Every structure is written in C-alpha cells, then in structure tokens.
C-alpha cells in the first residue's frame, strides 16, 4: 500500500466514524454502537426509487453490469442508499469481473450478515447495520489479504467523492 493510499484510508475511516459517533458500549463491542432506523414500507417507498426499494427492502438483486458504480475509480466513501451509513472506502474496492461493485473488506461494525438459503447452496447475505437494507452477498473468493468478496448491489449504494 502506498503512503498516499494509507493516508487516504485513515482519513476516510475517521470521516466514516464521524457520521455515526454514538459512543462505545464498553462490554459488548469495540465498535461504535449503530442506532437502528425503522420505517414503514410506505416511508421507504417515498424515500427510495422502485429499484432501490426492491433491492434494499425486498432483498432483490440488480442485473449485472447495470450500476455506474461498477467502473467508478474515484476516491471517496460508499454509503448505504437507504440511510447514508458509510460501508466501504474506495481503497477497499476492486474489480471482481462479476458485474457488481466488489470490496475485499468493509468498515467494521457497519454490516450484519445472515445465512441465505434462497438458492440450492448456502450463501452469506449482508445488510446495513443501521437500516437493515439488503446490500449483497459475501463470498470467500476475493483477493488478499482477506480473500473476501463483498459483492454489492450498486443501486444499494451512494458514492460520496473525496473533496480535492
């Protein structure tokens, strides 16, 4: 990792933590506690586009190669489209050649996982820790150092570019 990449990652993580600094729960987790957001289906429909609602609230999947974020190489943060909780930095993104934005890790404490039994084989699904919005699936075929592929629906994310 270059010095510039290291500094950017540090700055991005500090900024990400400022979005949701609620204090630590000394006995449960070393990560800031994420206060959850609850809305009715009608409130979510008013806030999201129909495609965002289908993916975030109904656990849908967007078509591969349909997201403009797939080819985005700008520096910044990827936040949940439902509640703007920072989930990934641009330094965590890589091209997995799958047709969906992919990351080799996430900002710790920002995503919850659960088993997904919808297909023949078991997968791991992940959701935003704040609003519960479905983001994508976690696979173990990613690059070093984590060997993880956080395969995200682009419509479930917003990109906030770094100010130059």
pLDDT tens track for 74-131:
999 999 999 999 999 999 999 999 999 999 999 999 999 999 887 778 899 999 999 9
pLDDT at 60: 96
Fold type of domain 3-161: 2.170.150
pLDDT digits (tens, 9 = 90+) for 141-153: 999 999 999 999 9
CB neighbour class for 123 (10 Å; exposed up to 12, middle 13-18, buried from 19): middle
pLDDT digits (tens, 9 = 90+) for 6-43: 445 545 554 444 444 333 333 445 566 899 999 999 99
Confidence of residue 2 (pLDDT cuts 50, 70, 90): low
The residues spanned by each domain of the chain are 3-161
What gap in Å lies between CA 153 and CA 99, rounded to an integer? Answer: 10
Q: Mind spelling out the 3-state secondary structure of 99-111?
A: CCCEECCCCCCCE
Residues with a catalytic annotation lie at 151
Closest among 17, 128, 136, 150 to 81, alpha carbons compared: 128
What gap in Å lies between CA 92 and CA 105, rounded to an integer? Answer: 6
Q: What pTM, to 2 d.p., does this model score?
A: 0.79
């Amino acid at each position: 990792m270059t010095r510039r990449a290291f500094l950017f990652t540090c700055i991005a993580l500090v900024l990400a933590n400022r979005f949701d600094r609620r204090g630590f729960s000394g006995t449960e987790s070393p990560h800031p506690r994420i206060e959850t957001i609850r809305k009715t289906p009608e409130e979510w429909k008013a806030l999201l586009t129909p495609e965002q609602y289908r993916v975030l609230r109904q656990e849908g999947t967007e078509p591969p190669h349909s997201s403009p974020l797939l080819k985005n190489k700008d520096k910044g943060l990827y936040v949940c489209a439902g509640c703007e909780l920072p989930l990934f930095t641009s330094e965590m993104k890589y091209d997995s050649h799958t047709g969906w934005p992919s990351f080799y890790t996430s900002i710790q404490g920002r995503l919850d996982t659960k088993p997904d039994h919808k297909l023949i084989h078991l997968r791991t699904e992940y959701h935003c820790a704040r609003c519960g919005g479905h983001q994508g699936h976690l696979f173990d075929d990613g690059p070093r150092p984590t060997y993880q592929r956080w395969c995200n629906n682009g419509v479930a994310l917003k990109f906030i570019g770094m100010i130059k």
